[in-house]
């Protein structure tokens, strides 16, 4: 399988992570990098400083930046790392021209005919693609992955759904990379915790319901769960940590929850980006920790620990790598699902 892929918004934090993860990918070959008008015509290495802890692939550095025009990009699939305020129109332009779009942006996530997918959670929702194409008259389509904080939450909730989840409360401690290279100044985040991230709580509270919902003919019927989120920015580079409280309509204790986490196996090992363990359960009281655990499973595993009984359910800590599992890696995994299912 050899599919041509391009990256929209290739110079930003998530765009760079796409390049890193797609380098030497067994199924996908990067054939185009696109970015804002001010960078068009430059070589990639001359656009913006490479900020990841790996070397920029030499051949990628020589790629010329292309305009975000579907007629000037040769690709079977484009990965979108665009800001949400511009993503909607640009992604639609590619879909209209017959290109598949796997988007990390929030612009289209909650639209009724656009699949919001975590393959280990709701891969059956991919059938919305056919509905979207018919409804809109497009030859291509858009598929999305959730918000970076939502992904860690929902992956950890999925094994617990068999107990009948009624309420979820979550408090996040989110890394600065989630705001992009220029999102939070050092004077704002050093010696500080910022108890507000614009739009983040609303995304967690709505996206979770769509992800855990069920297909009802031509749409998703949202899950009937109450979700309450509080989101905080802290001085960590990568890795979102979440304190999660879950109440269920069936009796559950910490032992039940631990067994559910240990037994969770979505059987997606045929996708190259799928980790050996989707959820890694820590037994030590002081884990998971961002610096030690965010890269488990090449950054695609969610770490869970401190599983304890609570008043009417259980509580635990979840950690996920926000720019890998929560962004670029999630979109690539969705792209692999599309390839496996014959959509590209």
Catalytic annotation, residues: 148, 240
- As given in the structure block, the two tokens for residue 114 are 């656009």
Identify the helix (H) or strand (E) that includes residue 144: strand 141-144
Other CB atoms within 10 Å distance of the CB of residue 168: 24
Question: Phi and psi at residue 183, in whole multiples of 5°?
Answer: -75, -35
The residue whose two tokens read 């004077």 is: 187
User: Token pair of 332, please?
Assistant: 């690539």
Angle among Cα 334, 104, 66 to the nearest 5 degrees reads 100
The Cα-based distances of 188 to 7, 144, 183 in angstroms read 31, 31, 10
Secondary structure class of 278 (helix, strand, coil): coil
Work out whether strand 165-174 and strand 214-216 pair parallel, antiparallel, or are unpaired.
unpaired
- Which sign, positive or negative, has the C-alpha torsion 36, 41, 44, 46? negative
Determine contact, residues 102/80, Cβ cutoff 8 Å: yes
Structure tokens at 207: 């996206």
Query: What is the distance in angstroms between the CA of the first residue and the CA of the last residue of the chain?
Result: 11
Rg for the chain, CA atoms, rounded:
19
Query: What is the distance, to the nearest Å, from the Cα of residue 93 to the centroid of all Cα atoms in its chain?
Result: 22
Q: How far is CA 119 from the centre of its chain?
A: 11
What's the CA gap between 102 and 258, in Å, rounded?
33
């Amino acid at each position: 399988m050899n599919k041509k892929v391009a990256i929209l918004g290739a110079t930003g934090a998530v765009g760079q992570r796409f390049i890193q993860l797609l380098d030497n990918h067994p199924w996908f070959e990067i054939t185009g990098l696109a970015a804002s008008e001010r960078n068009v015509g430059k070589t990639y290495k001359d656009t913006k400083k490479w900020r990841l802890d790996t070397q920029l692939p030499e051949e990628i550095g020589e790629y010329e930046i292309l305009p975000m025009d579907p007629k000037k990009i040769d690709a079977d699939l484009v990965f979108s790392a665009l800001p949400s305020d511009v993503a909607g129109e640009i992604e639609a332009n590619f879909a209209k021209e017959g290109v598949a779009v796997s988007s990390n942006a929030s612009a289209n996530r909650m639209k009724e005919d656009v699949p919001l997918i975590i393959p280990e959670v709701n891969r059956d929702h991919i059938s919305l693609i056919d509905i979207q194409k018919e409804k809109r008259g497009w030859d291509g389509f858009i598929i999305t992955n959730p918000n970076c904080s939502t992904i860690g939450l929902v992956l950890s909730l999925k094994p617990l759904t068999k107990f009948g989840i009624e309420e979820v409360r979550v408090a996040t401690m989110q890394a600065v990379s989630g705001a992009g290279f220029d999102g939070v100044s050092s004077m704002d985040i050093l010696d500080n915790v910022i108890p507000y991230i614009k739009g983040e709580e609303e995304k967690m509270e709505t996206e979770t319901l769509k992800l855990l919902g069920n297909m009802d003919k031509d749409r998703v019927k949202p899950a009937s769960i109450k979700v309450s989120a509080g989101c905080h920015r802290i001085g960590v580079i990568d890795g979102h940590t979440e304190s999660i409280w879950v109440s269920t309509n069936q009796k559950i204790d910490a032992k039940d929850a631990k067994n559910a986490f240990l037994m969770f196996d979505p059987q997606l090992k045929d996708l190259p980006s799928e980790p050996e363990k989707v959820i890694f359960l820590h037994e030590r009281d002081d884990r998971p920790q961002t610096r030690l655990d965010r890269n488990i499973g090449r950054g695609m595993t969610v770490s869970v620990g401190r599983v304890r009984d609570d008043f009417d359910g259980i509580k635990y800590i979840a950690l996920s790598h926000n720019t890998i599992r929560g962004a670029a890696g999630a979109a690539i995994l969705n792209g692999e699902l599309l390839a496996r299912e014959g959509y590209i």
